[in-house]
């Protein structure tokens, strides 16, 4: 059944939404230039004539920014940078990035902006079946990383029960999930698989033996990859993908109950899909980089965000969804990143495509890694996959290797070498830390592309 948090906004006509976007965008630019040293400086450096910003079409007159710009701002004016729209004495909470690629970025939120973050998450979760009476389990570390904090408060706003499960090991979380009769789980796709497999080792099948009817993903790609989704739904009844950025503070894409791609929250954000090299808009159905402008209340109140490059690659469609929402959709999830997508033998290699193919094979584990080398001036690709071969004959192992190779060749247009390794070998290499999909392709070539 289709459910809505704000039917008026979610089913607004495209023409009316375009007018809403334009009004908010023009107001946001004026508002931000008055309040933000960061954006004022960026626009002056780029020679922007603000008098020429008169319509939504003029958005491309403004320069793009990315997390490196925000990091420089934080170094310029520690600890919060000059990109925030409020001072610390106006804030009620602080969140940031995970700090996996450097010093964590910090973002302040006021009471007003934090309520707006929860409202955005509520739109997504209600569409995915969460409502009053739901018991939503959160097995994530409640740290400064923004992660699922907004989803937690959205659950409260919806009238459901938010169950925090940070600080426990996976086995304890499984027991807790059963004891509290959780109906929904919010976690990364990879951790949902770990949770399910741990439960299975404890003699518990989550779809059969618990009340869980839906799992909701964000924080890493994979939840929209068909094969990965199929594997997750073999343990859980339904899985739903969401996408966001730390800079946004909330999600900006979400799957509805129809699962026909992730809806773009077009009333909260302006999404441009640009060619990674030319920076020109791509056509519907073509791969491009997602560039975000937030016209949500948070952007006006606490954290302005105008033309932020995500580095994430995806494909969009304007075709309407049967759910009745008039949002655009991103199809197939995040395909890769501009800073990590590799070209092998002239072909772009998308990590999500590898994962989608591998997840069709029930005989293999969920850990894999693709290694690119250059031998005698030729590119080579080896895909290492964890497999439990203890109960398999040698001919069965060889047959599996050949079937995986054929499937990858058909989907990638490259013939990789297949290296089946013992269960735990890849995980041990990274000390048990789960690697997101886009980090599973390792380029060992000496030449840059």
Give the number of other Cβ atoms within 10 Å of residue 209's Cβ. Answer: 12
Query: Tens of pLDDT along the chain (449 residues)?
Result: 899 999 999 999 999 999 999 999 999 999 999 999 999 999 999 999 999 999 999 999 999 999 999 999 999 999 999 999 999 999 999 998 865 556 788 999 999 999 999 999 999 999 999 999 999 999 998 888 888 999 999 999 999 999 999 999 999 999 999 999 999 999 999 899 899 999 999 999 999 999 999 999 998 877 888 878 888 999 999 999 999 999 999 999 999 999 999 999 999 999 999 999 999 999 999 999 999 999 999 999 999 999 999 999 999 999 999 999 999 999 999 988 888 788 898 888 888 889 889 988 989 988 899 999 988 778 999 999 999 999 899 999 999 999 999 999 999 989 999 999 999 899 788 765 667 777 889 999 864 43
Task: Note the pLDDT of residue 137.
Answer: 99
| C-alpha span between 439 and 339 (Å, rounded) | 11
* β-strand pairing of 93-96 with 262-264: unpaired
- Looking at the domain assignment, is residue 272 inside a domain? no
Residue 290 CB-half CA count within 13 A:
26
- Looking at the domain assignment, is residue 251 inside a domain? no
Residue 366: domain span: 342-443
> What's the alpha-carbon Rg for the chain, to the nearest Å?
22
DSSP 63: P
Task: Note the pLDDT of residue 433.
Answer: 60
- Looking at the domain assignment, is residue 215 inside a domain? no
Q: How far is CA 374 from CA 23, 384, 415, 448, in A?
A: 52, 17, 15, 11
- Looking at the domain assignment, is residue 68 inside a domain? no
- Looking at the domain assignment, is residue 384 inside a domain? yes
| C-alpha span between 228 and 355 (Å, rounded) | 7
Q: How far is CA 324 from CA 15, 124, 316, in A?
A: 16, 14, 17
CB contact burial 75-112 (16+ within 10 A = b; e otherwise): eeeeebbebbbbeeebbebebbbeeeeeebbbbbbbee
- What pTM was estimated for this model as a whole? 0.86
| C-alpha span between 441 and 371 (Å, rounded) | 6
Query: What total of structural domains would you count in the chain?
Result: 1
CATH, residue 438: 3.30.300.30
- Looking at the domain assignment, is residue 104 inside a domain? no
- Looking at the domain assignment, is residue 7 inside a domain? no
Structure tokens at 294: 């937030």
330 - beta bridge partners? Answer: 262, 316
Task: Note the pLDDT of residue 104.
Answer: 81
- Looking at the domain assignment, is residue 120 inside a domain? no
| C-alpha span between 65 and 309 (Å, rounded) | 6
Task: Note the pLDDT of residue 449.
Answer: 35
């Amino acid at each position: 059944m289709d459910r809505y948090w704000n039917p008026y906004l979610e089913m607004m006509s495209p023409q009316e939404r375009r007018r809403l976007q334009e009004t908010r965008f023009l107001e946001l630019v004026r508002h931000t230039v008055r309040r933000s040293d960061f954006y004022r400086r960026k626009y002056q450096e780029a020679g922007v004539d603000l008098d020429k910003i008169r319509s939504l079409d003029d958005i491309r007159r403004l320069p793009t920014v990315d997390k490196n710009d925000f990091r420089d701002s934080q170094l310029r004016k520690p600890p919060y940078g000059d990109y925030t729209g409020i001072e610390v004495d106006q804030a009620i909470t602080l969140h940031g990035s995970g700090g996996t690629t450097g010093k964590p970025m910090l973002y302040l939120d006021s009471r007003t902006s934090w309520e707006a973050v929860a409202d955005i998450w509520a739109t997504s979760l209600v569409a995915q079946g969460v409502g009053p009476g739901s018991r939503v389990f959160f097995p994530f570390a409640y740290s400064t990383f923004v992660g699922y904090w907004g989803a937690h408060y959205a659950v409260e706003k919806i009238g459901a029960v938010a169950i925090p499960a940070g600080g426990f090991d996976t086995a304890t979380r499984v027991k807790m999930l059963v004891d509290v009769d959780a109906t929904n789980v919010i976690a990364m796709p990879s951790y949902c698989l770990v949770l399910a497999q741990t439960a299975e080792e404890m003699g518990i099948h989550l779809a059969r033996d618990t009340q869980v009817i839906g799992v909701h993903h964000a924080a890493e790609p994979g939840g929209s990859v068909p094969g990965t989704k199929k594997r997750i739904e073999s343990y859980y009844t339904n899985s739903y993908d969401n996408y966001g950025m730390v800079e946004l503070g909330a999600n900006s894409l979400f799957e509805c109950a129809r699962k026909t791609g992730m809806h773009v929250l077009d009333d909260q954000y302006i999404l441009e899909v640009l060619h990674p090299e030319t920076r020109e808009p791509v056509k519907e159905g073509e791969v491009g980089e997602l560039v975000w402008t937030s016209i949500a209340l948070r952007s006006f109140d606490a954290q302005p965000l105008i033309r932020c490059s995500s580095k994430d690659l995806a494909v969009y469609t304007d075709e309407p969804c049967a759910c009745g929402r008039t949002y655009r959709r991103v199809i197939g999830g995040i395909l890769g990143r501009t800073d990590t997508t590799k070209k092998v033998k002239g072909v772009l290699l998308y990590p999500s495509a590898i994962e989608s193919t591998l997840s069709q094979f029930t005989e293999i584990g969920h850990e894999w890694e693709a290694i690119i080398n250059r031998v005698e001036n030729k590119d080579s690709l080896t895909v290492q996959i964890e497999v439990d071969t203890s109960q398999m004959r040698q001919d069965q192992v060889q047959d599996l290797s050949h079937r995986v190779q054929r499937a990858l060749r058909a989907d990638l247009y490259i013939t990789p070498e297949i290296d089946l390794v013992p269960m735990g070998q890849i995980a041990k290499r990274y000390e048990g830390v789960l690697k997101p999909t886009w980090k599973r392709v390792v380029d060992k070539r000496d030449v840059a592309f």
